A and B are shown apart, each in its own frame.
Chain A
Amino acid sequence: MAGARFVDPSILARIGNLDLLARTVVDGFINGLHRAPYFGASIDFAEHRGYVAGDDIRRVDWRLFARTDRFYVKQYEADTNTNFSVLLDVSKSMGFKSRDVSKLEYASYLAACLAYLAHRQRDRVGIITFDSEVVAHVPPSAKHFNVLLHTLDRAKAERPGQLAGPVSKLAEHFRRRSVLVLISDFYDDPDVILEAIKPLRFLGNELIVFHVLDPAEIDFGYDDASSFEDLESGEQLPVVPESFGNEYRKLIADHSNALATKFSEHRIDYTLINTSKPLDHALFSYLSSRERLMRVR
């Protein structure tokens, strides 16, 4: 994979421009995937259906009307102008990094790349950043790609976060079918998270969830006994990694599995992202979801 080296997060971190970063990643990524079996989805004709009052008469298939003397409306596989919105958690915990790239930075790269992909497909792109409240809201628009990048660039992990509050408010804004990409570290009870994001799927929105975690959060690779301080609450806890490690790893794995299970039950795509891994895994996850979205009315 020729362009794979460009998607290494640590290398991407050196690219200050998100636009350039997104182009670099996505172009290289797509070039590398030309022969991939997943690619080739199009906006072809799907079927005819009877005209009902209120349908746009421009969609009436007049040729068929001439043969059958009935009004039929042509329907296609997908709507090419889907709204694409990124819901980015910018709570303080997202600022954590054990290596070169913080979770927020990684999430920004990911969001930029996905937005670029959507933008290339003429989708309207928008972004909402939130912590315990909505921090920035960029409505989906074909012209908002640069605004989106700018918003990502300004995003800083400063305040404690809470998923339920802002997400429930946002659900009301998506009146049109959209592809919603939620990027967060999901430090909350799985049931609470599920209850919070379930409204996002109303109106037929497609919800893609990226669970971003630092490798330190997954592997818990600490050696020395230390006081661990919660980034958001400031609370400290003496921790002996040797004693805590196994239990912690089990707990985080259980948490991830619970999220995956619960999201799957509600037809929500869930992907666990390790910030030490390249972005391709996340991009694959998005593209497969996008393909599925095209087949579904």
Chain B
Amino acid sequence: MSFLAPAFFLGLGAIAIPILIHLIQRERKSVVLFPSLMFLQRIPYQSVRRRRIRHWFLLAMRVAAIALIVLAFARPFLKQGELAAAAIAGAREVVILLDQSASMGYGDHWQRARDAAHKVVAGLGADDRATLVLFGRNAEENMRATSDRARLDAAINAAKVNSDGTRFGPALKLAQSILGQSSLKRREAVLISDFQKIGWGSAEDAHFPEGTTLTTASVASETGNVAVPSVTFARTAFAGQERVAVTAGISNKGDQPAVSVPAVLSVDGHEIETKPVTIAPHASTPVTFAAFTVGEANVRGTVRAGTDLLPADNTFHFVVSPSAPVAVAIVENGDRSEASLYLSKALAIGTTPSFQPEVIPASRLTPAVFDKHSVVIFNDTVIPASMGGGALKRFVDRGGGVLVVTGERSSWLTEDADLLPGKLGPPVDRVSGRSATLGYRDYSHNVFDVFQAPRSGDFTSAHIFRYRSFVATPPPEGRVLARYDDGAVALAERRTGAGRVMVWTSTLDDSWTDLAKKPIYLPLVHQLVRYLARYEQTPSWLTVGQVVDLASIAAQIRGDRIVVTPSGQRTTQRANAPGLLELTEQGVYEVRTAGSTTGRPLAIAVNIDPAEADLAPVDPAELVAAVTGRATGETADAAAPEPLSPEDSEKRQALWWYLLFAGVLLLAAETVISNHLSRKEKFL
């Protein structure tokens, strides 16, 4: 016990006041002279003594009241390490990180997690503040720094498991931010999760500040889990229709083999086939179902495999539609055989999308060709004068793609010169000395985007011996996407209207370059055509948490769009509004035109992150060590409260208030008692 203002103890001298009053009162209280106390002394002494004790009791009350008041003014406080040091060492800033990802729906994991959160809330002191953060792949503050336990409990009760994936990084960063901004000296984070290993990456950049505690509460248990993480489609043509054979990969994450698990394929609500499947522990087994005909777009399918404590990953939704091949017209000069062999063969291989290449001699080129094809490739050819009159420009303006592959014979119409991203020049011969290579690629462009990752295409192995010089139009009209090692333009683009025009300044066969014989050739051609055709693959399923732009994938819907979520919630999107839609639920979203009840609506299948099926936990201590930089045991030591200044200690404890209150209460009681006695016995 220490005192902030010990000088007030001088006030203890005031204790003499009631004693003096007592003495004075006794003297003033008319001492009666009496001849002899002989008889008075014979009266039983006990009755006198009892009154004396009462008398002293009142005196003691008065003295105690003054002592308490003086003690209150001395501002006492308990030093840390004394009584309940931890309780009074200072308020805590607590961040409760509650995992609500899909995997928490396993068995009683969620209930246990909520119980753990309630326990943390129950352990909060009066001055402690807590923030509830619910997290999956992302984290959000559900309840901002409050001391209201009831609100925290209500928020925890209201929280639900969602279909999201698990990532500890965002949650820990958010906690780091909250704790970093807190003015309280004791900062703690409590992470309540099943600690899926897939949710923690070593690259997570979350580091708690010094003195911050991270406590973990794991609800993980040794469990088995069967999941359907993905499906693949094999499309075949049969009797003029497309048939799709679905192959589902079914995984078993448990330690015991899953025997005779029924795998069921349903299409549009009808069960197509059921197959029993046996899966070894920690293995996956493919199951191929019977093919079914896809007659129209947006056919919904579901694969279910077994039943276990985590039903969310036992179901896999998908949507299939008949494939739509990209029609490509390869216009060649016609004066040499198989000039477009490489191009046509490369395009014939494609499946996503499939291409329908058609080689057309320049002499037979008509404006009607533009109507039937999405992309026109002028492969080292002269543009016939018959194509004048703006047909090419109109084709490009309405969204057509043109790839000009230059060579010995290439020429361009003067009237359509502004369609090109620059001006063609004479050939440049690189046969003498070292051949040219593609030295620069604009990986930010969609064409080269897929080659950005390491070992994703080796352009340097291709040798270019000749190319046409090209003076590119400066931005923004023109854009150079690739250059040779000498800086000359290799690939340039210009956008006109809704369409795109690209110029490749060398050939795409083996006359000027050996690119056609390199592995990079096929994907490069596919990327070029796919880009020019503005092809965007419609995925058969998406993952919870992704955002889709309905303005692009549902472009065929004119007017307002109505979105129906798997849980049945309907939202309306205006035609002119941004069509971004965040997919938060597992199942099939429907998108249809407002007011339309007929026809098959656009369907978007959404599945939980397949990684959620992997319940293998990470060691919480490892996570704590990575985030705090200390082992768990040391963290507890580091969490020891910093010594508070005497003023802060006194201010937090406010013992003076209780003492003052007790003193005043004692005085009031003394007044009541003494008045009562005075009336009753005329004796004080």
Interface residues of A (CB under 8 A from B): 93-94, 96, 103, 185, 187-188, 214, 217, 222-233, 235-240, 242-244, 247-248, 251-252, 255
Contacts and interface: CB of A to CB of B under 8 A. Distances in A.
Contact of B38 (A187, A224, A242): A187
Contacts of A103: 35
B35 A231 contact: yes
16 contacts: A93-B35, A185-B36, A226-B29, A227-B31, A227-B32, A228-B37, A230-B35, A232-B36, A233-B37, A237-B40, A237-B48, A239-B48, A240-B47, A242-B682, A244-B40, A255-B39
Contacts of B52: 238
B26 interface: yes
A185 B35 CA distance: 9
Nearest to A95: B35
A225 B682 contact: yes
B238 interface: no
Contacts of B43: 244, 247-248, 251
Interface residues of B, number: 23
A251 B42 CA distance: 9
B570 interface: no
Contacts of B10: none
Nearest to B682: A225
Given A238-B48, A238-B51, A238-B52, A226 B40 contact: no
A93 B37 CA distance: 11
A229 B33 CA distance: 5
Interface string B7-28: 0000000000000000000100
Contacts of A255: 39
B82 interface: no
A272 to B, nearest CB: 15
B39 A237 contact: no
Interface of B: 26, 29-43, 47-48, 51-52, 681-683
Nearest to A251: B39
A231 B36 contact: yes
Contacts of B29: 224-227
Nearest to B684: A225
Given A237-B40, A237-B41, A224 B30 contact: yes
Contacts of B40: 228, 237, 239, 244, 248
A237 B39 CA distance: 11
A229 B31 contact: yes
B379 to A, nearest CB: 131
Candidate in B33, B36, B38, B47 with the most chain A CB atoms within 10 angstroms: B36
Top-7 shortest CB links A-B: A93-B35, A187-B36, A225-B683, A251-B39, A96-B35, A230-B37, A226-B32
A248 B34 CA distance: 13
B490 to A, nearest CB: 121
A228 B51 contact: no
B36 A230 contact: yes
A111 to B, nearest CB: 19
Contacts of A244: 40, 43
Contacts of B682: 223-225, 240, 242
A185 B42 CA distance: 18
Nearest to A240: B683
Contacts of B34: 96, 217, 228-231
Contact of A236 (B31, B36, B681): B31
A262 B682 CA distance: 40
Contacts of A217: 34-35
Contact of A225 (B36, B41, B42, B681): B681
A69 B29 CA distance: 84
B681 A228 contact: no
A224 B29 CA distance: 9
B30 to A, nearest CB: 5
A236 B32 CA distance: 9
Contacts of A243: 47
Contacts of A247: 43
B32 A187 contact: no
B50 to A, nearest CB: 10
A276 to B, nearest CB: 15
Contacts of A214: 35
A161 B576 CA distance: 125
Contact of B39 (A231, A232, A235, A252): A252
A252 B42 CA distance: 11
Given A217-B35, A238-B51, 20 more contacts: A96-B34, A96-B35, A103-B35, A187-B38, A223-B682, A225-B681, A225-B682, A225-B683, A227-B26, A228-B32, A229-B32, A229-B33, A232-B36, A233-B37, A237-B37, A239-B40, A240-B48, A240-B682, A243-B47, A248-B43
